[in-house]
Amino acid sequence: MTEVRDPSDLLTAASPDDALPVVRDSSFREATATPRARTGTGLCLSGGGYRAALVHLGALRRLDELGVLAHVRTVSGVSGGSLAAAMLAHPALDWNRDDGRVGGFDEHVAAGLRALTARNIRTPALLSRLLPWRWFDPDAAVEELARQLAQQTPFDQPLAAPRRAGPRVVVSATDLVFGVDWIEQTAWGDAPARVGSYRAGYAAPSSRWRLGDACATSCAEPPFFAPRRVARELTQRLSGGYRELETAEQHRRLLRRLQLVDGGVYDNLGLEPVWKSHHDVLVSDGGGVFRATTQRTVVGRLARSLEILGRSGSNTRLRWLHAAYARDVLAGCTWGIDDVVADLDGLVDAVGYPFEVVELIARVRTDLDAFSPGEQQVLERHGYLVADHAVRKHAPALVRIDAPVRPPHEQVADPRVAAAALRGSAHRTLLGRRRVAGRTP
Averaged pLDDT for residues 415-436: 90
- Confidence at 189, pLDDT banded by 50, 70, 90: confident
345 and 393 in contact (C-beta within 8 Å)?
Answer: yes
Cα distance between residue 322 and residue 285, in whole Å:
14
Cα distance between residue 17 and residue 238, in whole Å:
12
Of residues 262 and 189, which shows the higher confidence score? 262
Best mean pLDDT range from 29-33, 53-57, 129-133: 53-57
Residue 48 has pLDDT above 80, yes or no: yes
- Confidence at 28, pLDDT banded by 50, 70, 90: very low
Give the per-residue pLDDT at 24.
39
Q: Cα dihedral angle (70, 79, 332, 72), rounded to 10 degrees?
A: -20
Averaged pLDDT for residues 18-45: 60
Averaged pLDDT for residues 106-129: 96
92-96, 102-106, 316-320: lowest mean pLDDT where?
316-320
Give the per-residue pLDDT at 299.
66
Please provide the average confidence, as pLDDT, over all residues in the chain.
88
Residue 439 has pLDDT above 70, yes or no: no
DSSP 8-state secondary structure symbol assigned to residue 26: G
Give the per-residue pLDDT at 9.
40
Which amino acid is present at 348?
V
- Confidence at 44, pLDDT banded by 50, 70, 90: very high
Give the per-residue pLDDT at 342.
73
Residue 304 has pLDDT above 50, yes or no: yes
Give the per-residue pLDDT at 32.
42
Domain 38-421, classified CATH 3.40.1090, yes or no:
yes
Cα distance between residue 17 and residue 2, in whole Å:
21
Averaged pLDDT for residues 281-308: 75
- Confidence at 286, pLDDT banded by 50, 70, 90: very high
Give the per-residue pLDDT at 4.
40
Give the per-residue pLDDT at 35.
61
Give the per-residue pLDDT at 296.
72
Give the per-residue pLDDT at 300.
67
Cα distance between residue 392 and residue 335, in whole Å:
12
Averaged pLDDT for residues 248-272: 94
Give the per-residue pLDDT at 244.
85
Residue 68 has pLDDT above 70, yes or no: yes
Residue 346 has pLDDT above 50, yes or no: yes
Mind listing the pLDDT tens digit for each residue in 222-236? Answer: 989 999 999 999 999
Cα distance between residue 69 and residue 61, in whole Å:
9
Q: Please report, rounded to a whole number, the percentage of residues in the chain having pLDDT higher than 70.
A: 84
Residue 134 has pLDDT above 90, yes or no: no
Give the per-residue pLDDT at 12.
34
- Tell me the pTM: 0.89
Cα distance between residue 355 and residue 359, in whole Å:
6
Residue 437 has pLDDT above 80, yes or no: no
Mind listing the pLDDT tens digit for each residue in 165-179? Answer: 999 999 999 999 999
Of residues 3 and 86, which shows the higher confidence score? 86
Cα distance between residue 335 and residue 345, in whole Å:
16
